Amino acid sequence: MYPIERVEPLNAEVTRMVVRAPEIARKIKPGQFIMLRIDEVGERIPLTMNDCDPEAGTVTIVFQAVGATTMRLAKMKEGDALLDFAGPLGNPTELEGAKRACVIGGGLGTAIAYPQAKWLYEHGAEVDVITGFRNVDLVLLEDEINACSTRQIIMTDDGSNGNKGLVTQALQQRIDEGADYDLVLAVGPVIMMKFVAATTKPYGIKTLVSMNPLMIDGTGMCGGCRVKVGDEYLHACVDGPDFDGHLVDFDDAMRRGVMYRSFESAARDAAEGRDCNGGAAVAAADGERKGA
């Protein structure tokens, strides 16, 4: 079991959770992910690391309560424990050598972009961080990012923070101003990463995107997490999760991403019913398994 040491809502939808996992904390690097399972009936879900503290032996994850598992996760409290927490999985983001980087986070992606910005900043790079949210109430990690960036630009869809627009507009403006980036990292919705890559392509700026496809085992076994990169399908779990943004087929990724959408509401309803019912439903499910 992996004890939850701290739970903190970052806004109405997003939660930060600190989990005790000393061995993983010792090894995990920006860009790598963990797979967790809440309990015996739970799914394995991948979450990219937000932060880690090797000395305290903790790994921090940030998630948005949108699916059955993340909604259940958001209800867990300090002192509860996760049944499974495996990592570090995937490859660390290739950050070495970057001198002038732009790290872009869209919504929840900001939480994953944060450790990359921090690493770059601590290693002497100039780091611009551009983040985008629907409105000012959803802005994430503003103080943390201020502490590890040369410049932070926060964009909102509705302009409620006084800065209306898309992250790509801010990126284009910085490029026009002569920012001369040697690395752009984008983490967020697939559509955002697609347009970030399209923005940097004419300038030939190295652009990495962090893909988050459907995944089951996360260790290189099931083939569920295929991402079309150039002419071939690669696996986010062993070849990624970061890929060259100029080679990723984002339309293909968006199409594959909806494959399980029709199951989502049934999963949420069942999970909610189970949680209201306490252990009874879990026991019933277990009984059914034994009978099967």
Partner 1 sequence: MATSYEVNRQKEKTPMPELDPVERARTFEEVALGYAAEDAFNEARRCIQCPKSPCVHGCPVGVPIPQFVAQVAEGDFGAAYALVKEANALPAICGRVCPQESQCEGVCTRGKNGEPVGIGRLERFVADWAFEHPEEAAKAAAALAERRAEEAAAAGETPAEAVAADEPDEIVVPDVDLSGKRVAVVGSGPASLTCAGELAKRGCDVTVFEALHKVGGVLTYGIPEFRLPKDLVAREVEALGESGVSFETNALVGKLYDIDELMDERGFDAVFVGTGAGIPSYLGIEGEGLNGVMAASELLTRVNLMKAYLFPEYDTPVYAGKHCVVVGGGNVAMDAARTAKRLGADVTVVYRRGREEMPARAEEVHHAEQEGIEFQLLTNPVRILGDDKGWTCGVECVRMELGEPDASGRRRPVAVEGSEFVVDIDMLVVAAGSKTNPLIAQTTPGLETTSRNLIVADERTCATSKPGVFAGGDAVIGAATVILAMGAGKRAAAGIAEYLTAK
Shortest distance (Å) from residue 259 CB to partner 1: 5
Site string for partner 1, 9-38 (x = CB under 8 A): --------------xx--x---------x-
Question: Is residue 237 marked as binding?
Answer: yes
- For partner 1, the binding residues in 79-108 under the rule CB under 8 A are 83-89
Residue count, binding to partner 1 (CB under 8 A): 49
- Report the residue from 53, 221, 230, 280 that binds partner 1 according to the rule CB under 8 A: 221
- For partner 1, the binding residues in 61-80 under the rule CB under 8 A are 68-69
* Residues with Cβ within 8 Å of residue 97, at least 6 apart in sequence: 182
Question: Is residue 62 marked as binding?
Answer: yes
Of 128, 256, 118, 107, the C-alpha closest to 193 is 107
Confirm if 183 and 208 have CB atoms less than 8 A apart: yes
Shortest distance (Å) from residue 217 CB to partner 1: 6
The CA-based angle 133-135-137, given to 5 degrees, is 105
**HEC letters along 161-189:** CCCECCHHHHHHHHHHCCCCCCEEEEECC
Binding part of the chain for partner 1, among 40-48, 104-112, 142-150, 196-204 by CB under 8 A, reads 40-48
Specify the pairing of strand 207-210 against strand 183-187: parallel
Shortest distance (Å) from residue 243 CB to partner 1: 15
Binding part of the chain for partner 1, among 48-56, 94-102, 105-113, 223-231 by CB under 8 A, reads 223-231
First to last CA, the chain: 27
Beta strand segments in the chain, E:
2-9, 14-20, 33-37, 45-48, 51-53, 58-64, 81-82, 84-89, 100-106, 126-133, 151-156, 183-187, 207-210, 226-229, 232-235, 242-244
Q: Could you say whether residue 275 binds partner 1 (CB under 8 A)? A: no
Question: Is residue 33 marked as binding?
Answer: no
Shortest distance (Å) from residue 270 CB to partner 1: 3
Dihedral angle sign, alpha carbons of residues 117, 226, 60, 87 = negative
Known binding site for [2Fe-2S] cluster: residues? 222, 225, 237
Q: Contact positions toward partner 1, by CB under 8 A?
A: 23-24, 27, 37, 41-44, 68-69, 83-89, 216-217, 219-224, 226, 228, 233, 235, 238, 252, 255-256, 258-260, 263, 266-267, 269-271, 281, 284-285, 288-290, 292
